[in-house]
Amino acid sequence: MDSSAAVLGLESSCDETAAAVLRADGTILAEAVLSQLREHAPFGGVVPEIAARAHLEHLPGLVRRVMAEAGLGYGDLAGVAATSGPGLIGGLIVGASVGKGIALAHRLPFVAVNHLEAHALTATLPGLVPGGARFPYLLLLISGGHCQCVAVEGVGRYRRLGTTLDDAVGEAFDKAAKLLGLPWPGGPALERLAAQGDAARFPLPRPLLGRAGCDFSFSGLKTAVANVLARLPGPPGEQEKADLAAGFQAAAAAVLADRAGHALAMLPGATALVVAGGVAANAAVRAGLQAVAAKRGLPLVAPPIRLCTDNAVMVAWAGVERLQRGLVDELGHAPRPRWPLEELAG
């Protein structure tokens, strides 16, 4: 695949509608993300039907926009990549259908991208680290729906070392934020509030800290926040909320750092610790992981903030990586709401 060849990427797995055009050398020619926060905020979370309708309404326009910004026609593309799972099935169908339609109309290869693989391969995007991260590396995938330690051994080659036993860490952030009366999405709001708080005021548990393996558990930490609030003599004041937010964030960051350290011990040949997903945007979490990586003489590879959350740049890059290896999907490929990384072929 020529380094100047371009791939169109589409993302619609949850509540971000996104499109991007990348060259095979990693140059981003155009990218666009449309957030649906305003549509879902009144409900305190993502409503699948609303998300699917928004993708259907906005994705075609975003595609036209990025193609125009890239200065390309569809016939100039080397392929089309669309997230085809895991995620909300309505949104996946919209994105995959748009991608397949473009591929069919212009006789282009189609790549059905696994959303988790797109996060995993962001670390190999040239420019993020010099030359891209080298396999194998440890991926800590932390978001509202996922919390996993994964050995990334190559494109299509993944071993899950540990996962959450209950809540994903992003889900726990959102639930704790809701208990504190913060708006949705809770993670960013909780981080802002925590900056004003004293993390030592309300000691909170560190679930599974120091335990063997690298599984996670966050349900008890969320419950501990509820218990602290229940024991207060009255409604919490602003400083109490800030202190509790800081305590929760410190506990979550400590657990993530501990589990990542255990996972690195399970992957002695790792070249880097890579963190991806929405929670990777949290500064306290990044600082804890940076310390873990440095202790082992490894770099911490974290995407720019805009590429931590769902985006089409990572989808297009996963498409590039797969197309370069001749990994093309049939237009009959069905989107999958559940699609474990271990089931991918490389």
119 and 149 in a common domain? no
**Predicted pLDDT of residue 115:** 95
Domain of 333?
A: 6-125+310-343
**Run of H or E residues at 151:** strand 147-154
Ligand-binding annotation for 40, yes or no, is no
Written as one string, the DSSP assignment of 16-60 is EEEEEEEETTS-EEEEEEEE-HHHHGGGTS--HHHHHHHHHHHHH
57 residue type, one letter: E
Q: Tell whether 131 is covered by a domain.
A: no
**Tokens 């992981």, residue located:** 289
- CB count, 10 Å around CB of 68? 12
Q: Say if 95 falls within a structural domain.
A: yes
110-114, strands of its sheet edge to edge: 28-35, 16-23, 6-11, 77-85, 110-114
Q: Report d(CA 182, CA 56) in Å as an integer.
A: 30
The residues pairing with 111 across neighbouring beta strands, listed in sequence order, are: 81
In a domain, 244, yes or no: yes
Check whether 187 is labelled as a binding-site residue. yes
d(CA 168, CA 91): 21
Same domain, 314 and 294: no
| Tally of structural domains, the chain | 2
Q: Residue 174, annotated ligand binder? A: yes
319 and 229 in a common domain: no
Last residue of a domain, one of 271, 286, 302: 302
Rg (CA), the chain: 20
Task: Output the pLDDT for position 4.
Answer: 87
Can you give the pLDDT of all 346 residues of the chain as single tens digits? 888 899 999 999 999 999 999 999 999 999 999 988 788 878 888 898 999 999 999 999 999 999 999 999 999 999 999 999 999 999 999 999 999 999 999 999 999 999 999 999 999 998 777 667 899 999 999 998 899 999 999 999 999 999 999 999 999 999 999 999 999 889 999 999 999 999 999 999 999 999 999 999 999 999 999 999 999 999 999 999 999 999 999 999 999 999 999 999 999 999 999 999 999 999 999 999 999 999 999 999 998 888 888 999 999 999 999 999 999 999 999 999 999 998 887 6
What's the maximum distance between 2 C-alpha atoms anywhere in the chain? 67
- Whether 73 has a binding-site annotation, put simply, is no
pLDDT of residue 219: 94
Q: Are 253 and 282 within one domain?
A: yes
Q: Is 201 exposed, middle or buried (0-12, 13-18, 19+ CB in 10 A)?
A: middle
Same domain, 319 and 294: no
Residue 291: predicted pLDDT: 98
pLDDT number for residue 110:
98
Torsion of CA 216, 220, 223, 228, to 10 degrees: -110
Residue 132 placed within a domain:
no
Does 270 reside within a domain?
yes
The pLDDT value given to residue 253: 98
User: Is residue 142 annotated as involved in ligand binding?
Assistant: yes
Q: 46 and 113: one domain?
A: yes
Residues 292 and 338 in one domain: no
For residue 220, give the CATH number of its domain: 3.30.420.40
Does the annotation flag 143 for ligand binding? yes
Query: Do the domain assignments include residue 130?
Result: no
Asked if the structure places residue 212 within a domain, the reply is: yes
Query: Does residue 343 have a known ligand-binding role?
Result: no
Torsional sign, CA 178, 179, 181, 187 = negative
Same domain, 55 and 142: no
Say which residue the tokens 């996670």 belong to. Answer: 216
At 346 the pLDDT is: 64
Cα 71 to chain centroid distance, Å, stands at 29
- What is the model's pLDDT at position 260? 98
Determine whether the annotation assigns residue 261 to a binding site. no
* Cα–chain center distance at 122: 10
**245 assigned to some structural domain:** yes
User: Does 207 lie in the same domain as 87?
Assistant: no
Whole-angstrom distance, CA of residue 302 vs CA of residue 328: 28
144 and 282 co-located in one domain: yes
Examine the domain organization and report whether 281 and 156 are in the same domain. Answer: yes
> Which residue intervals of the chain are DSSP H helices?
37-40, 48-70, 89-105, 115-121, 169-179, 186-194, 219-231, 238-266, 283-295, 312-323
| Cα angle 306-65-54, degrees, rounded to a multiple of 5 | 70
The reply to whether 42 and 167 lie within a common domain is no
Is residue 282 marked as binding? yes
Q: Are 319 and 111 in contact (CB under 8 A)?
A: yes
Per-residue pLDDT, 207 = 97
pLDDT at residue 177 in the model: 97
